[in-house]
Amino acid sequence: MTTSLPPDISQSLLQRFNSVRQRSVDYCAPLHPEDCNLQAMPETSPAKWHLAHTAWFFETFLLKPYLRNYQPFHDRFEYLFNSYYNGVGSQYPRAQRGLLSRPTLDEVLHYRLHVDQSMTTLLSQVDHPARQDIIRRTELGVHHEYQHQELFFTDIKYNLACNPLAPQYRHHEGLMPSVESADAIRWETFSAGLISMGNDAHNGFVFDNETPVHKRFLAPFELASRPVCNAEVLAFIHDGGYRTPSLWLADGWAKVQQEQWQHPLYWQQHDDHWKVFTLHGLAPLNPADTAVHLSAYEADAIARWLGARLPDEAEWELAAQSLPVQGHFLSGTGLLQPGRADATPLSQMFGSVWEWTASSYAPYPGYRAAAGALGEYNGKFMCNQLVLRGGSCVSDPEQLRPSYRNFFYPPDRWQFSGLRLARDGDSI
Amino acid sequence: MTTSLPPDISQSLLQRFNSVRQRSVDYCAPLHPEDCNLQAMPETSPAKWHLAHTAWFFETFLLKPYLRNYQPFHDRFEYLFNSYYNGVGSQYPRAQRGLLSRPTLDEVLHYRLHVDQSMTTLLSQVDHPARQDIIRRTELGVHHEYQHQELFFTDIKYNLACNPLAPQYRHHEGLMPSVESADAIRWETFSAGLISMGNDAHNGFVFDNETPVHKRFLAPFELASRPVCNAEVLAFIHDGGYRTPSLWLADGWAKVQQEQWQHPLYWQQHDDHWKVFTLHGLAPLNPADTAVHLSAYEADAIARWLGARLPDEAEWELAAQSLPVQGHFLSGTGLLQPGRADATPLSQMFGSVWEWTASSYAPYPGYRAAAGALGEYNGKFMCNQLVLRGGSCVSDPEQLRPSYRNFFYPPDRWQFSGLRLARDGDSI
Amino acid sequence: MTTSLPPDISQSLLQRFNSVRQRSVDYCAPLHPEDCNLQAMPETSPAKWHLAHTAWFFETFLLKPYLRNYQPFHDRFEYLFNSYYNGVGSQYPRAQRGLLSRPTLDEVLHYRLHVDQSMTTLLSQVDHPARQDIIRRTELGVHHEYQHQELFFTDIKYNLACNPLAPQYRHHEGLMPSVESADAIRWETFSAGLISMGNDAHNGFVFDNETPVHKRFLAPFELASRPVCNAEVLAFIHDGGYRTPSLWLADGWAKVQQEQWQHPLYWQQHDDHWKVFTLHGLAPLNPADTAVHLSAYEADAIARWLGARLPDEAEWELAAQSLPVQGHFLSGTGLLQPGRADATPLSQMFGSVWEWTASSYAPYPGYRAAAGALGEYNGKFMCNQLVLRGGSCVSDPEQLRPSYRNFFYPPDRWQFSGLRLARDGDSI
Amino acid sequence: MTTSLPPDISQSLLQRFNSVRQRSVDYCAPLHPEDCNLQAMPETSPAKWHLAHTAWFFETFLLKPYLRNYQPFHDRFEYLFNSYYNGVGSQYPRAQRGLLSRPTLDEVLHYRLHVDQSMTTLLSQVDHPARQDIIRRTELGVHHEYQHQELFFTDIKYNLACNPLAPQYRHHEGLMPSVESADAIRWETFSAGLISMGNDAHNGFVFDNETPVHKRFLAPFELASRPVCNAEVLAFIHDGGYRTPSLWLADGWAKVQQEQWQHPLYWQQHDDHWKVFTLHGLAPLNPADTAVHLSAYEADAIARWLGARLPDEAEWELAAQSLPVQGHFLSGTGLLQPGRADATPLSQMFGSVWEWTASSYAPYPGYRAAAGALGEYNGKFMCNQLVLRGGSCVSDPEQLRPSYRNFFYPPDRWQFSGLRLARDGDSI
Q: For residue range B133-150, what is the model confidence (pLDDT) as tens digits?
A: 999 999 999 999 999 999
Q: How confident is the model at residue A10 (pLDDT cuts 50, 70, 90)?
A: low
C253 Cβ under 8 Å from any chain B Cβ: yes
Burial class (CB in 10 A: 0-12, 13-18, 19+), B174: exposed
- The reply to whether residue B76 touches residue A102, judged by beta carbons under 8 angstroms, is no
**β-sheet bridge partners, residue C194:** C217
CA atoms within 13 A on the CB side of B338: 37
| Residue B329 predicted with pLDDT over 70 | yes
Q: Which residue has the higher pLDDT, B172 or A221?
A: A221
Nearest by CB: B216 against C217, C248, C427: C217
| Residue D283 predicted with pLDDT over 80 | yes
The average confidence (pLDDT) of chain D is 93
CA D237 to chain centre: 26
| Residue A9 predicted with pLDDT over 70 | no
Q: What is the pLDDT of residues C75-124, one digit of tens each?
A: 999 999 999 999 999 999 999 999 999 999 999 999 999 999 999 999 99
In Å, how far is C372's CA from the nearest CA of chain B?
9
- The reply to whether residue A40 touches residue B160, judged by beta carbons under 8 angstroms, is no
Q: Which of residues 285-324 of D touch A (CB under 8 A)?
A: 296-297, 300, 312
What mean pLDDT do residues B27-43 have? 97
Buried b (16+ CB within 10 A) or exposed e, A372-387: ebbbbbbbbbbbbbbb
pLDDT of residue A346: 66
Q: How many CB atoms lie within 10 A of CB D375?
A: 17
What single-letter amino acid sits at C38? L
Angle at D11 between CA D5 and CA D12, to 5 degrees: 70
- What's the CA gap between B205 and B145, in Å, rounded? 14
Quick check: bond before B212 cis, omega within 30?
yes
What mean pLDDT do residues B336-357 have? 84
Give the chains touching D; criterion: ≥3 Cβ pairs < 8 Å: A, C
Q: Secondary structure of chain D in the HEC alphabet?
A: CECCCCCCCHHHHHHHHHHHHHHHHHHHCCCCHHHHCCCCCCCCCCHHHHHHHHHHHHHHHHHHHHCCCCCCCCCCHHHHCCCCCCCCCCCCCHHHHHHCCCCCHHHHHHHHHHHHHHHHHHHCCCCCCCHHHHHHHHHHHHHHHHHHHHHHHHHHHHHHHCCCCCCCCCCCCCCCCCCCCCCCCCEEEECCEEEEECCCCCCCCECHHHCCCEEEEECCEEEECCCCEHHHHHHHHHCCHHHCHHHCCHHHHHHHHHHCCCCCCCEEEECCEEEEEECCEEEECCCCEECCCCCHHHHHHHHHHCCCECCCHHHHHHHHCCCCCCCCCHHHHCCCCCCECCCCCCCCCCCCCEEEEEEECCCCCCCCCCCCHHHHCCHHHCCCCEEEECCCCCCCHHHCCCCCCEEECCCCCCCCEECCCEEECCCC
Q: Which of residues 41-80 of D touch C (CB under 8 A)?
A: 48, 76, 79-80
In Å, how far is B36's CA from the nearest CA of chain A?
8
Q: What is the pLDDT of residues C253-274, one digit of tens each?
A: 999 999 999 999 999 999 889 9
- What's the CA gap between C366 and A257, in Å, rounded? 55
- What's the CA gap between D377 and B412, in Å, rounded? 50
* Chains D and B are in contact, defined as 3 or more C-beta pairs closer than 8 angstroms: no
pLDDT of residue A177: 57
| CB contacts, 8 Å: B376 with chain C | 246
Q: How confident is the model at residue A172 (pLDDT cuts 50, 70, 90)?
A: confident
pLDDT of residue C180: 66
C250 Cβ under 8 Å from any chain B Cβ: yes
| CB contacts, 8 Å: B101 with chain A | 32, 34-35, 37-38, 159-160, 163, 167
- The reply to whether residue A32 touches residue B100, judged by beta carbons under 8 angstroms, is no
Question: Which one, of A359, A230, A199, A366, lies nearest residue A302 by Cα?
Answer: A230
| CB contacts, 8 Å: C92 with chain D | 164
CA atoms within 13 A on the CB side of A140: 21
What mean pLDDT do residues D360-388 have? 94
In Å, how far is A157's CA from the nearest CA of chain B?
13
What mean pLDDT do residues B120-128 have? 96
What mean pLDDT do residues D44-65 have? 98
- The reply to whether residue C250 touches residue B424, judged by beta carbons under 8 angstroms, is no
Q: What is the pLDDT of residues B177-214, one digit of tens each?
A: 556 678 889 999 999 999 999 999 877 899 999 999 99
D177 Cβ under 8 Å from any chain A Cβ: no
Angle at B368 between CA B363 and CA B369, to 5 degrees: 90
Of all residues in chain C, the percent with pLDDT exceeding 90 is 87
pLDDT of residue A174: 64
Q: What is the pLDDT of residues D135-168, one digit of tens each?
A: 999 999 999 999 999 999 999 999 999 999 999 9
Handedness of CA B325, B327, B332, B336 (dihedral sign): negative
Long-range contacts of D232-237 (CB under 8 A, 24+ apart): D232/D291, D232/D302, D232/D306, D233/D263, D233/D264, D233/D291, D233/D294, D233/D302, D234/D274, D234/D285, D234/D287, D236/D301, D236/D302, D236/D305, D236/D306, D237/D262, D237/D263
Residue of C nearest to D81 (CA): C164
Q: What is the pLDDT of residues C43-89, one digit of tens each?
A: 999 999 999 999 999 999 999 999 999 999 999 999 999 999 999 99
pLDDT of residue C177: 58
Inter-residue contact A223 to A191 (CB < 8 Å): no
Maximum Cα interatomic distance, chain D, rounded to a whole number of Å: 68
CA A327 to chain centre: 15
Inter-residue contact D420 to D215 (CB < 8 Å): no
- What's the CA gap between C270 and C272, in Å, rounded? 6
Q: How confident is the model at residue B4 (pLDDT cuts 50, 70, 90)?
A: very low
D382 Cβ under 8 Å from any chain A Cβ: yes
Nearest by CB: C32 against D96, D101, D162: D101
Q: How confident is the model at residue B37 (pLDDT cuts 50, 70, 90)?
A: very high
pLDDT of residue D204: 85
Inter-residue contact A340 to A289 (CB < 8 Å): yes
Helix intervals (H) in A99-217 = 105-123, 131-161
pLDDT of residue D201: 80
- The reply to whether residue C249 touches residue B84, judged by beta carbons under 8 angstroms, is no
In Å, how far is C215's CA from the nearest CA of chain B?
7
DSSP, residue by residue, A242-273: GG-GGGS-HHHHHHHHHHT--S-TTEEEETTE
The average confidence (pLDDT) of chain C is 93
Inter-residue contact D151 to D49 (CB < 8 Å): no
Nearest by CB: B366 against C296, C358, C424: C424
Q: What is the pLDDT of residues D24-54, one digit of tens each?
A: 999 999 999 999 999 999 999 999 999 999 9
C37 Cβ under 8 Å from any chain D Cβ: yes
- What's the CA gap between A236 and A219, in Å, rounded? 29
Q: How confident is the model at residue D172 (pLDDT cuts 50, 70, 90)?
A: confident
The average confidence (pLDDT) of chain B is 93
In Å, how far is C301's CA from the nearest CA of chain B?
11
pLDDT of residue A4: 47
Nearest by CB: B360 against C86, C249, C362: C362
pLDDT of residue D8: 55
Inter-residue contact A248 to A300 (CB < 8 Å): yes
- What's the CA gap between D139 and D148, in Å, rounded? 14
Of all residues in chain A, the percent with pLDDT exceeding 70 is 94
| Residue C8 predicted with pLDDT over 70 | no
In Å, how far is B69's CA from the nearest CA of chain A?
25
In Å, how far is B224's CA from the nearest CA of chain C?
18
CA atoms within 13 A on the CB side of B75: 0
- The reply to whether residue A253 touches residue D84, judged by beta carbons under 8 angstroms, is no
| Residue C4 predicted with pLDDT over 60 | no
| CB contacts, 8 Å: C102 with chain D | 32, 34-35, 163, 165, 167
Residue of C nearest to B249 (CA): C380
Q: What is the pLDDT of residues D69-78, one digit of tens each?
A: 999 999 999 9
pLDDT of residue D196: 97
pLDDT of residue D255: 98
Question: Which one, of D226, D181, D200, lies nearest residue D351 by Cα?
Answer: D226
User: What ipTM was estimated for this complex?
Assistant: 0.95
A163 Cβ under 8 Å from any chain B Cβ: yes
How many CB pairs (< 8 A) connect A and D?
85
Q: Which of residues 73-112 of B touch A (CB under 8 A)?
A: 76, 79-80, 92, 96, 98-105
- What's the CA gap between B150 and B144, in Å, rounded? 10
Q: How confident is the model at residue D7 (pLDDT cuts 50, 70, 90)?
A: very low
| CB contacts, 8 Å: D165 with chain C | 76, 80, 102-103
pLDDT of residue D344: 61
Maximum Cα interatomic distance, chain A, rounded to a whole number of Å: 68
Quick check: bond before B167 cis, omega within 30?
no
- The reply to whether residue A382 touches residue D248, judged by beta carbons under 8 angstroms, is no
In Å, how far is D308's CA from the nearest CA of chain A?
12
- The reply to whether residue B380 touches residue C410, judged by beta carbons under 8 angstroms, is no
Residue of B nearest to C408 (CA): B384
Element (H, E) at A359: strand A354-360
Nearest by CB: A214 against D219, D248, D365: D219
Q: What is the pLDDT of residues A180-200, one digit of tens each?
A: 678 899 999 999 999 999 999
In Å, how far is C364's CA from the nearest CA of chain B?
10
| CB contacts, 8 Å: D380 with chain A | 248-250, 253
| CB contacts, 8 Å: C383 with chain B | 249-252, 296-297, 300, 410
A161 Cβ under 8 Å from any chain B Cβ: no
Inter-residue contact B314 to B422 (CB < 8 Å): no
Give the chains touching A; criterion: ≥3 Cβ pairs < 8 Å: B, D
pLDDT of residue C54: 98
| Residue C174 predicted with pLDDT over 70 | no
Residue of A nearest to B95 (CA): A40
DSSP state of A59: I
Inter-residue contact A190 to A221 (CB < 8 Å): yes
Inter-residue contact A289 to A337 (CB < 8 Å): yes
Q: How many CB atoms lie within 10 A of CB A10?
A: 16
Question: Which one, of A112, A94, A77, lies nearest residue B165 by Cα?
Answer: A77
Inter-residue contact B379 to B372 (CB < 8 Å): no
Burial class (CB in 10 A: 0-12, 13-18, 19+), B173: exposed
Of all residues in chain D, the percent with pLDDT exceeding 70 is 94
| CB contacts, 8 Å: D80 with chain C | 164-165
Lowest mean pLDDT among B62-76, C284-298, C345-359, D234-248: C345-359
- The reply to whether residue C163 touches residue D98, judged by beta carbons under 8 angstroms, is no
Give the chains touching B; criterion: ≥3 Cβ pairs < 8 Å: A, C
